[in-house]
């Protein structure tokens, strides 16, 4: 894969600080914010400075490093009991993305094994390992997902942002798109705007422009009409949590895209690392759906776009049933027409 189509990194550890590109400012401004304590990291996750399930998990892992460093500096060997509050703080920052809890549990298990002395080096090594593993997994998913796409497919559609901004690098669904484009299989990407935070227009389009991949934006409600024209072969999306039967939670509007895809004979692909799969949930009905502030729907860039007195319903995610999903792609392999049995076999591989 040419680096020409993989130039964006949203998360960096540099000079003993965590750096996050402030995704609220894109595409007008590309600016990294620096963080050195877990409260600020949790606030950044909650405020969507960083977003996307894998990126949230990686960010939280680095947040644990900052917490341990601060606690050890202040308390010495008393850091171990004090850090429990920091882990709880980070866990409470977003409820839907299971990668957050997966990463924190991985860091928690390491903490339990550490002996006396400064825990920072060991925890930093683990956070960096989580980061590297995510990029490698994304590369693998890119290869596996691109293999499902017929040469000369022409056009793909995606919803929300699933690229380097949402992960440690390269991307999940956008990683598949990057790989397919590099292989000459795709001529153009269509990206839903993704109301109300406009991740498609602000982030996905920005990433693709940075990486010289042709992209056309469309309003979320235009995607069914686009599919009706017959040019789109696949809808490719990410996931914030996948249940044991293959039901997948993703950014609000994904379910509508899946329904339209099935009606129009367009294939539907979900791309996510196995850290996104929650085998403790039998199906998607158990996935918690974050409800965000009404102001996100009632206003845009701080200006009201609805009359005073109007109310809003603002779920951040919806759940696409496994019956509407043609393929789930993880770093462990591809599950076609997912079922509980197929998901269990993939996770056990």
pLDDT of residue 111: 98
Mean pLDDT per 10-residue run, the chain (349 residues)? 73 97 95 97 97 94 98 96 97 90 97 97 98 96 97 90 95 97 94 96 95 96 96 95 97 98 98 95 97 96 95 98 98 98 97
- pTM (predicted TM-score): 0.91
Which pLDDT score is estimated for 152?
80
pLDDT at 309: 97
Rounded Cα distance between 12 and 188, Å, is 30
Catalytic residue among 6, 192, 211, 240: 240
Task: Say whether 258 sits in a helix, a strand or coil.
Answer: helix
Specify the pLDDT at position 95: 86
Q: Is 182 helix (H, G, I), strand (E, B) or coil?
A: helix
Give yes or no: 326 in active site: no
**Which pLDDT does position 153 carry in this prediction?**
67
User: What per-residue confidence (pLDDT) applies to 19?
Assistant: 98
* Cβ–Cβ under 8 Å, residues 123 and 65: yes
- Identify the burial level of 227 via C-beta atoms within 10 angstroms of its C-beta, where 0-12 means exposed, 13-18 middle and 19 or more buried: buried
Phi/psi at 17 (5° precision): -130, 155
User: Cβ atoms within 10 A of the Cβ of 32, count?
Assistant: 16
Q: Residue 296: which of 1, 54, 116, 51 has the closest Cα?
A: 51
List, as own/partner pairs, every contact residues 90-94 make where C-beta atoms lie below 8 angstroms and the sequence separation is at least 24, other chains included.
Answer: 90/38, 90/41, 90/42, 90/45, 90/60, 90/63, 90/64, 91/60, 92/42, 93/42, 93/43, 93/45, 93/46, 93/56, 93/60, 94/45, 94/46, 94/56, 94/290
Ordered structural domains, the chain, with CATH: 3-135 (1.20.120.420), 139-348 (3.40.50.10470)
The Cα 207–Cα 160 span in angstroms is 12
**Dihedral angle at the C-alpha atoms of 111, 44, 171, 6, nearest 10 degrees?**
-110
SS3 265: coil
């Amino acid at each position: 894969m040419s680096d020409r189509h993989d130039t964006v990194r949203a998360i960096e550890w540099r000079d003993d600080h965590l750096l996050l590109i402030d995704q609220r400012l894109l595409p007008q401004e590309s600016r990294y914010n620096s963080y050195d304590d877990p409260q600020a990291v949790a606030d950044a996750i909650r405020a969507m400075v960083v977003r996307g399930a894998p990126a949230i998990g990686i960010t939280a892992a680095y947040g644990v490093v900052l917490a341990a460093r601060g606690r050890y500096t202040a308390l010495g060997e008393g850091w171990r009991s004090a850090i429990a509050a920091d882990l709880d703080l980070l866990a409470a920052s977003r409820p839907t993305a299971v990668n957050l809890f997966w990463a924190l549990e991985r860091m928690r298990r390491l903490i339990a094994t550490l002996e006396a002395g400064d825990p920072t080096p060991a925890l930093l090594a683990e956070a960096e390992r989580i980061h590297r593993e995510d990029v490698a997994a994304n590369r693998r998913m890119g290869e596996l997902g691109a293999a499902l796409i017929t040469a000369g497919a022409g056009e793909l559609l995606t919803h929300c942002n699933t690229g380097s901004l949402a992960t440690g690098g390269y991307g999940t669904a956008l990683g598949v798109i990057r790989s397919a484009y590099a292989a000459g299989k795709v001529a153009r990407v269509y990206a839903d705007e993704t109301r109300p935070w406009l991740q498609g227009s602000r982030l996905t389009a920005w990433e693709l422009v940075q990486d010289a991949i042709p992209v056309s934006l469309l309003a979320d409600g235009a995607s069914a009409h686009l599919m009706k024209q017959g040019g789109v072969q696949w809808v490719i999306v990410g996931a914030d949590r996948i249940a044991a039967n293959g039901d997948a939670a993703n950014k609000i509007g994904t379910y509508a895209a899946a329904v339209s895809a099935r009606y129009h004979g367009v294939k539907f692909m979900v791309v996510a690392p196995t850290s996104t799969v929650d085998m403790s949930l039998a199906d998607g009905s158990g996935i918690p759906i974050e409800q965000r502030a009404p102001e996100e729907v009632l206003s845009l860039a701080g200006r009201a776009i609805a009359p005073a007195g109007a109310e809003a319903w603002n779920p951040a995610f919806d759940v696409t049933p496994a019956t509407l999903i043609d393929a789930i792609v993880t770093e462990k392999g591809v599950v076609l027409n997912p079922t509980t049995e197929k998901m269990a076999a993939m996770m056990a591989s």
